[in-house]
Amino acid sequence: MGLGKRDLTRKKKSLEDKLVELEAKAKKNPLDKNIQYEIEQLKKKIAK
């Protein structure tokens, strides 16, 4: 069975929260390529 609507909403919300956290870290250290890569990956997952 797949995830329910409520589960999908929770999962998306947690991804968005993590994205906000990573963007704050990226502002402090804009040259860190790992953080930039993670932000890219999260944006792709949220877009799905």
pTM of the model: 0.78
Within 13 Å and on the Cβ side, how many CA atoms surround 46? 16
The pLDDT value given to residue 48: 76
Write the Ramachandran bin of 2: left for phi over 0, alpha for psi from -120 to 50, otherwise beta: beta
Three-class secondary structure of residue 10 per DSSP: helix
pLDDT of residue 17: 95
Q: What pLDDT does residue 19 have? A: 95
Are the CB atoms for 46 and 16 separated by under 8 Å?
Answer: yes
Per residue of the chain (48 residues), give pLDDT as tens: 688 999 989 999 999 999 999 999 999 998 999 999 999 999 999 887
